[in-house]
């Protein structure tokens, strides 16, 4: 398979006595859709924040797009896109203004911004809505727009933290179409979720329980390994052992 774009070795984050992420070791290949599963409070977000340069690891090693997470956070930030759990576009700006702002701060030229905006608006079917405040869009559209804005600078890797929570099944399906389209262009997708049907869309999945990675493989192999019929069963089998309760 292709080269690794994310590589971690015993990556750990402690908050006082609490170990949020304990010795995570995994790698993600270029162009892969990598699912990160776990119950609330399992440590998914913490792990992702360390990889995005938002949080400094307590110990262990990790590189993202070839850059060290301790030393080269600025280079990492230039090469990744990030879509957080909270909705993160400016609700009091219009669709076009949001795209322009994020494209601008990633250093796209005026021409690139213009082309990219048109392409993006067309892809999302938002023609005629560009002058609308983001606040007025339905949640599903907001999430799709949010994703498109997160990859406006065509990053090598895009991190998504529960991007589809609270979104209806039809929109979720459309959302995954966008993810596939991005992956087809060679983007690596790193996504956390707790929808089990979504995990089936991933190339590989890791399941975190209480800050530790308990399983990591393709959905097919995982089902085989745990002799389960569905990812649901695999997940419940592991999550039942969790001692921590939700966040």
Partner 1 sequence: MRTLLFLLQKEFLQIFRDKNLLRQILMAPIIQLMILPWAANYEVKNISLAIVDHDHSTYSQKLESKIFSSGYFKLADYCASFNDGYKLIEGDKADIVMEIPANFEKNLVRENKQKIFLAVNAINGVKALVGTGYLGNILNDYNGELRLQWVQPSKISPIPSIEITSMNWFNPGLNYKIFMVPGILVFLVTMLGSMMCALNIVREKEIGTIEQINVTPIKKHHFILGKLIPFWVIGIFVFTIGLTISRFVYGIIPVGSIGVLYVFLSIYMLAVLGLGLLISTYSDTQQQAMSLSFFFIMIFNLLSGLYTSVDSMPGWAQIITDLNPLRYFIEVMRMVVLKGSGFHDIQHQLIFVIIFAIVFNGWAILNYRKTT
**Which parts of this chain interact with partner 1 (CB under 8 A)?**
49, 52-56, 73-74, 77-78, 80, 82, 84-93, 97, 100-102, 104-107
Q: How far is the CB of 205 from partner 1 (least distance, A)?
A: 24
Indicate the residue among 101 and 195 with the shorter CB distance to partner 1.
Answer: 101
Distance of CA 68 to the CA centre of its chain: 19
Which of 93/183 has CB closer to partner 1?
Answer: 93
Calpha distance 121→110 (Å, rounded)? 16
Closer CB to partner 1, 88 or 221, in the complex: 88
Separation CA 27–CA 197 (nearest Å): 23
Q: Quickly count: other Cβ atoms within 10 Å of residue 91's Cβ.
A: 12
CB of 40 to partner 1, least distance (A): 17
d(CA 171, CA 167): 6
Radius of gyration in angstroms for the set of CA atoms belonging to the chain, rounded to a whole number: 18
What is the C-alpha separation between 9 and 119, in angstroms, rounded?
A: 39
Q: Cβ(160)–Cβ(86) under 8 Å?
A: no
Residue among 63 and 199 whose Cβ is closer to partner 1: 63
CB of 97 to partner 1, least distance (A): 6
Give the nearest distance from C-beta 155 to partner 1 in angstroms. Answer: 10
């Amino acid at each position: 398979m292709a080269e690794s774009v994310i590589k971690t070795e015993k990556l750990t984050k402690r908050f006082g006595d609490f170990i949020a992420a304990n010795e995570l070791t995994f790698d993600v290949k270029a162009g892969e859709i990598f699912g990160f599963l776990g119950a609330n409070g399992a440590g998914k977000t913490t792990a992702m924040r360390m990889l995005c340069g938002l949080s400094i690891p307590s110990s262990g090693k990790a590189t993202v797009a070839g850059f060290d997470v301790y030393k080269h956070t600025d280079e990492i930030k230039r090469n990744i896109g990030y879509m957080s759990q909270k909705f993160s576009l400016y609700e009091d700006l219009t669709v076009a203004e949001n795209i322009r702002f994020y494209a601008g701060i990633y250093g796209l030229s005026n021409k690139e911004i213009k082309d990219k905006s048109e392409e993006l608006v067309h892809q999302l079917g938002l023609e005629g809505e560009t002058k609308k405040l983001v606040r007025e869009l339905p949640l599903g559209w907001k999430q799709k727009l949010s994703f498109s804005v997160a990859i406006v600078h065509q990053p090598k890797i895009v991190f998504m933290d529960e991007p589809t929570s609270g979104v209806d099944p039809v929109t979720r399906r459309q959302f995954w179409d966008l993810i596939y389209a991005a992956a087809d262009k060679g983007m690596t997708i790193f996504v956390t979720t707790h929808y089990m049907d979504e995990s089936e869309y991933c190339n590989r999945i890791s399941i975190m329980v209480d800050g530790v990675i308990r399983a990591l493989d393709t959905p097919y192999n995982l089902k085989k390994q745990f002799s389960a019929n569905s990812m649901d069963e695999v997940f419940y089998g592991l999550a039942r052992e969790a001692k921590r309760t939700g966040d």
